[in-house]
């Protein structure tokens, strides 16, 4: 009786392993579609999250430094207003110039940078451990408090 139960468990495990292998192969084939779907979901969620939040104290300095009409003035304002490196201010300057000054466009460089980080984790881990671990690595930062900071200028 014990032997039949063990054989049944082994058959179930073999079936699960075969199913996981088939799913991994299909995910590998459609990994770019998976990237696109996850990117659309992330972008929609991040923009909705960023839209409703007023600017915090440190974000106001970033928006003020990004406000001038040309890059040189924005660079000078970033150096005078904030002790942070001016790259964030310049990226925010371009985002605000292209998309208008609002909560989403001011936070767009940080939103994009966080997503590039998540995709880089996916790429790195997928090559070493497989697509399931890659997807887990992509999703873990989204479940931490880092996601909240990714939506701040």
Query: What digits encode the pLDDT tens for the residues 93-123?
Result: 888 888 888 888 888 888 899 999 999 999 9
Higher pLDDT, 2 or 62: 62
Q: State the pLDDT at residue 128.
A: 92
Q: Which residue in the block uniquely carries the two structure tokens 């770019």?
A: 32
Q: Is residue 36 part of a domain?
A: yes
Task: Compute the distance between CA of residue 56 and CA of residue 42 in angstroms, rounded to an integer.
Answer: 22
Q: Is residue 56 part of a domain?
A: yes
- Which tokens is 17 given? 């392993």
Q: Which residue in the block uniquely carries the two structure tokens 């996601």?
A: 147
Q: Is residue 111 part of a domain?
A: yes
pTM: 0.76
Q: Is residue 60 part of a domain?
A: yes
- For residue 140, the enclosing domain spans 30-149
Structural domain total, the chain: 1
**35-39, 40-44, 66-70, 87-91: range with lowest mean pLDDT:** 66-70
Q: State the pLDDT at residue 153.
A: 62
Q: Is residue 51 part of a domain?
A: yes
Q: State the pLDDT at residue 80.
A: 74
Q: Is residue 119 part of a domain?
A: yes
Task: Compute the distance between CA of residue 15 and CA of residue 136 in angstroms, rounded to an integer.
Answer: 23
61, 81 Cβ separation under 8 angstroms: yes
Q: Is residue 144 part of a domain?
A: yes
Q: What is the DSSP string of 51-119?
A: HTPPP-HHHHHHHHHH-SSSHHHHHHHHHHH-SS-THHHHHHHHHHHHH-SSHHHHHHHHHHHHHHHHH
Q: State the pLDDT at residue 120.
A: 93
Is 124 a residue whose pLDDT tops 90? Answer: yes
Is 1 a residue whose pLDDT tops 60? Answer: no
Task: Compute the distance between CA of residue 89 and CA of residue 110 in angstroms, rounded to an integer.
Answer: 11
Q: Is residue 20 part of a domain?
A: no
């Amino acid at each position: 009786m014990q032997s039949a139960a063990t054989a049944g468990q082994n058959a179930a495990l073999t079936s699960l392993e075969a199913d996981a292998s088939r799913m991994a192969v299909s995910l590998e084939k459609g990994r770019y579609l998976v990237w696109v779907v996850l990117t659309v979901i992330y972008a929609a969620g991040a923009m909705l999250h960023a839209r409703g939040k007023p600017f915090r104290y440190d974000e106001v300095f970033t928006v003020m430094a990004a406000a001038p009409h040309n890059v040189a003035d924005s660079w000078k304002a970033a150096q005078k207003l904030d002790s942070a490196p001016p790259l964030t201010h310049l990226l925010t300057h371009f985002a605000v110039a292209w998309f208008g000054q609002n909560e989403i466009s001011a936070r767009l460089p940080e939103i994009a940078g966080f997503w590039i980080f998540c995709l880089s984790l996916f790429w790195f881990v997928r090559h070493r451990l497989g697509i399931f671990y890659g997807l887990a690595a992509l999703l873990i930062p989204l479940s931490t408090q880092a996601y909240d900071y990714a939506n701040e200028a």
